[in-house]
Chain A
Amino acid sequence: MTPLVRLDGVGFAYPNAAPGRTRFEIRDLSFAVAPGEVLGLIGPNAAGKTTVIHLLSKVLTPSRGEIFVEGEPLRSLGRAEVARRVAVVPQDVAPGFPYTVGELVLMGRFAHAPGRFFESAADARVAREAMRLTGVETLAGETLGRLSGGERQRVVLARALAQEPRLLLLDEPTAHMDLRYQAECVGLLRRLNREQGLGILLVSHDLNMAAELSDRLLLMSGGAAVTMGTPEEVLQESTLERVYGCRVVVDKHPATRRPTVNVAWPDR
C-alpha cells in the first residue's frame, strides 16, 4: 500500500543563516505515514519538527533527499496540487484584514479551482460541512477578533478540512488551550481520523496528548530521528531522559492505559 507521505533521506539547511550560528539542519530523515494513520512528532525545541511540516507542505524545499506524497515526488507537484492533498493547521492565524469566519474557511477551497473568481455552490457546501464538523457554523459571520482562542483554532481546522486533504498537518494544536478545549480537540481529531480516514501528522510538546492520539510516535532531536514506534516503545524513561535532558517518570493513564510522561521536578 502506497504510504500517504514518505521522506527518503531528507536533509535541509537554511541558505542564509546568521553568521556564527550553526546552520539548522534536518539530517537524513526517513519515515512514512500510512493512509489513515496518526503520527505524532515529538522532541525538544529546535528538533526540526516545524521544519518537517514546512517541508511536507512545500513551503520549504529539501536540500537533499526526496519527499513523496501518495507515491508522487513532491517536487513535481504544483502548489495547488499539494494543497489538495495536504492541509496545514498552523498554531495561530492573524489575517491582516477583518475577514469573517465564513470567508476564511472558504479560502480553503482555493486549491480545488484556482482559476475560478468566485467559489462554486459545491465549494460553499464543503465549507459549510467543514464548519459543522468543527462546530463553528454559527460563527460564520464573525471576525476572528471576537472569538476565543479555542474557537479560532477550530476555524483554522475547518479551513484545513475544507481543503478535503488526505493528510492533516497540525502544529501544536493544543498550545495555550485549556483542558476542555484539549479534550474537545483530541475527540474531534480522533473522529476525523476514524470517520473520514484522514491521515494526521501532529507536532506537539504535549507528550501525553500525542501519546493518546497517535498510532505511532517519531521522536526527533537536533534535526534527526531518534526513534520511531508505538507510544509504549518510544516513551521509555531512559530514552526521554537522554533526549530531553531531565528526569522523567513514565506511568500508565488510569483510564486509557496509554503511557503518560511525568516530569521528576527537581530540588523537592
Chain B
Amino acid sequence: MTTSLRALAFCLLLFPGSAWGLEVVDQTGRALTLLAPPRRIVSLVPSVTEILFAIGAQDALAGVTDFCDFPSEAKRKPSVGGMINPSLEALVTLKPDLVVATRSGNRAETFDQLKRLRLPVYLVDPISVDDVMRLVTALGELTGHRDGAAAVTGDLERRIKAVEERVAGRPRPRTLYVLWPDPLIVPGRDALVSELIARAGGESVTTDQGAGYPRMSLEAAVARAPEVIILASHGGGTPVGRDKWERLESLPAVKSKRLYTADGSVMHRYGPRVVDGIESLARLIHPEAFVK
C-alpha cells in the first residue's frame, strides 16, 4: 500500500478546527501533510493529467504542462511551460495546493524550488503496470474520487485479464521493440514497455540490456533473431528507419513480414492508456488470438 489514510489526533491537536487532516506518503516514500483535499492541483506529469481526467477529478486540476495533450480537454487547462523548464511564476500564480511531479521527466532543481516556495509536492515514480493501478487509486484517495478511481482500475484490470486469457498458453515469439531507431534504444529491465510486451504474450529480447531504456548495438539486436519487430512512432507518420529494418531480410521477423508500427505515446505514459498499449501489442504479437 502506498497510501495510508489516518485521521491523526496529532493533526487535530495541531490544527484546531480542521476536520480533515491527511498525512500522505507519495510514491517515493516521502510523507506530506495536507490540510484539505487538494482543489487546485498542478500536474507536471502528462500521465497524471490523464489519470485525473479519467477518474473524474479534472475540476481539481488547475494547471498542466505543454506536453499534457490527452485528453484534448487537457489542452484547454492553463499551462506552466515544459516539464524540464516550467515557469515558477506561472505555477505560483495558479495558487496550487498540490503539485504533482515525477523523478523521471521533471528536474530535481524544480522540485527543490517548489520545496523552497513551500508548495506541497507529490512525487510519482511508477515503473510497472501495478504501479499505475496504485497511482490511480492513490490519486483517487487524494482527490476524494475513490469511486472514479475504482471504476478506472476495475475497467483496466478487466481488460488486461481479457488479453491475458486470449494469449495464454500460446508460444511467445521473440519480440524486439524499437523505441528509437538511431541510436537504437530499446526497453530494458524495469521498463514499462517490457512489461507490456510480456503481458501481451511476447518475449522481449532486450530485457537484459540494462535498466530503463538503454542503447543497444544493431548487431546485438539482429543477433537475437527477433520474430516480431515493433517500431514506435512518436506523433504520427512512418517511424524513421523502417526501410533500414526491411532490408535485413535474414531476420525471421522480416521474412514473415512481422514488422509493425505502434503508437509510442500510448506505450510510454504511465496512465490508463497503457492498457490500450497492451491490447495493441497483443493484436500485433498474437493476431490469431483476436480473429473473431
A and B touch in the complex (CB under 8 A): no
Give me the interface of B with A, judged by CB distance under 8 Å.
none
